[in-house]
Amino acid sequence: MTGGSCLFPGMAERLEAGILMIRPCDTPIRVVRASDPILDAWHGAAAYAAAMQFPRQTFTRMDYFEKGEDWLRPGISNEHITAKATPVPNWSAVAKLQP
């Protein structure tokens, strides 16, 4: 887990309990808090932005304004940004698992 909200007491246990309820076929899981939950996501994003493939996987603000939100550079699949319906967990049931 990363981000400030993972610092709330019991957050890892609550998240793990919720995932356990919706996981397929008893898939083993383990929720682990990042070593620096406040900055780890930023460090990962900074490393990605500095990588050589970053310019090929993004488009500029000017591209967006000139060509619209549906435009993507040739060769970039929009499959990863297509919204997909996902089951919504029953969080009230998860809350009941908390002591």
> Would 81 be classed as within a structural domain?
no
59: alpha, beta or left? (left if phi > 0; alpha if psi -120 to 50): beta
> Would 25 be classed as within a structural domain?
yes
- Cβ–Cβ < 8 Å for 25, 55: no
- 30: containing domain: 4-76+89-96
Ranges of residues in the chain whose predicted pLDDT is under 70: 72-99
> Would 21 be classed as within a structural domain?
yes
pLDDT value at position 81?
45
> Would 82 be classed as within a structural domain?
no
pLDDT value at position 84?
42
pTM > 0.95: yes or no: no
> Would 83 be classed as within a structural domain?
no
Start-to-end CA span in the chain (Å): 21
